[in-house]
Amino acid sequence: MSINSLKHHIINGETMGTRYCANFCAGEKVDINALNDALFAAVDNVDQQMSTWKPESDLMKINSAKLNVWLPLKPELCQVLDCAFQISKTSQGAFDIGVGGLVNAWGFGATGRELDVDRVKQQLNKSQPIATDCFELNVEYQKIRKTRPCIIDLSGIAKGFAVDQMIGVFKSFGVENALASLDGELCAIGVEADGRSWNIALEKPDYEKRDAIGVIALDNSAVATSGDYRHWIDVGDKKLSHSMNPKSGGPVQNNIASVSVIAQSCMLADAWATTLMVMGEVNGSEFAKAHDMNTLFILRKHDELMQKAYGDVFTDI
């Protein structure tokens, strides 16, 4: 069916403490109301399983479980945990979902507390045990058990996975041209209503206002951005990001303002963007080059923003 014969639709909704957007073209036979319901159900399912803000979520049951007790996992949560553990191993712990304790201590967590000064002093500059050393995951039987005290936080990967789930809904309804987005994580299939690749505006890392720094074309792939400018706290004369470095026991402190990554799935793009943010400019750049990643680093240097791009997608930004 020609793209010109399809009708353009935009659907918005709220989930996971933010908003999602579905931008797509569909034929007359597609039940838009049913599609809308299915999109919400998909992202809400991720939220119900992986939120640290819902005491009854599957993730919080893992966090509150006793040691050495096997817990069953739903397929979606098992898939995300498996991916997270693999990336943690590949990145030598730079990506770590076991930073929930740090997130809470620094006042970014669901506990709603302000900065826990005493706990921060105990953990700062001390390497934290990573999740892969604290949990045993059995993917075949979809179960997990905690072997050491640890709190999992999936904020660096779950939203990307939710976007992938939205794309899965589109495909199940026979929609071949769509853009799904959730809080800066995006995945595109097919083309826009005008027949061209989906044009995606990349956000300028600015603490005060939201503006675009450039536009990229997204072809059947995903892009995610991790940055220091969306969620932070002021400590003295410093702005400290919500992204945690398990090796330092505190927020990421380097000159990366944001890092964007393109991957085949939004879950991978989300997790790799978080990983490179933690690694810093030098190690992150070397890692991105070694793994042939399409990556854009935006760096803070002498009160100016500088760009460092790898791959062929970001070169014209």
- Where is the binding site for Mg(2+), in residues? 156, 270, 274
- Where is the binding site, in residues? 156, 270, 274
- Torsion angles phi and psi, residue 162, rounded to 5: -60, -40
